[in-house]
A and B are shown apart, each in its own frame.
Chain A
Amino acid sequence: MGDPKISFSGGSFTVSGYAPAWSIGNLGQVRLADYFQITPPSSFTDPQIKLGLHILDLTWGRRGSLWLEQSLTVGGTFHLLTSGASGSLQLNNQLLWQPIRDLQFTFTFVLSGQLDDTGVKGSVNFGSQFRLTDTKSVFGGVGLRF
């Protein structure tokens, strides 16, 4: 293996998006940079940014859909916008392909690793934050109860 040429040790690529009428599953089908703004770490050099964006593309293509599915296995919070009621709920995979009227998200990709002559090895820490807004009946249609 050759000497490392470009290395990463932290620094977060951030993808923030508003995707009205998209489903969460749709996000896994696209190249994020084609539809949304990607903000690289301010401390990265141009070569690091260039390589990092390609790693992000490759990683999202291989893992994005799986991570999105897994993101629906966790709990969340809900807020009823008229009554003001709120609480917690368990998400489920029925939500994956449900178009959401107002789908907002932030993804973060923290890269660690290095590029050498053979390629790149390392790890990616992926984080997602979703804010989904639609009617009770839409969410009720995929099994969510409030």
Chain B
Amino acid sequence: MSEYPGQDYSGGQGYGDQGYGESTGDPDAGQQGDGGQYSDGQGGQSDGQGAEDEDVAIESEYSTEENIEFSMADLTSAGYEREPDDSSSDYIA
């Protein structure tokens, strides 16, 4: 038996830390210049980056059928104990 399968998992780190891109715009970028014009748009928000790592649910189904054959020794080694009534039918010659 392997060790507990999930104990070393570290893949869950980082959920939700994708964050949003920081705006590089200077909030004062629209200050009035000599020409009386305003710079606009530089302070815009970066958006949409968080959606790049959104959660996904995947669903799948599978089925198969196989023949099985286990000896009584197999069953016993797996811990199976015969029912008391089982021995009653062993007598038939």
Contacts and interface: CB of A to CB of B under 8 A. Distances in A.
B66 A83 contact: no
B27 to A, nearest CB: 29
Nearest to A144: B58
Contacts of B62: 67, 70-71, 74, 127-128
B8 to A, nearest CB: 9
Grouping DSSP codes into helix (H, G, I), strand (E, B) and loop, the A interface class, with mixed when no group exceeds half, is mixed
Interface residues of A, number: 68
Contact of B57 (A2, A26, A78, A123): A78
B1 A29 contact: yes
Contacts of B85: 5
Contacts of B66: 63, 123-124, 126
A123 B15 contact: no
B6 A123 contact: no
A89 to B, nearest CB: 7
B59 A122 contact: no
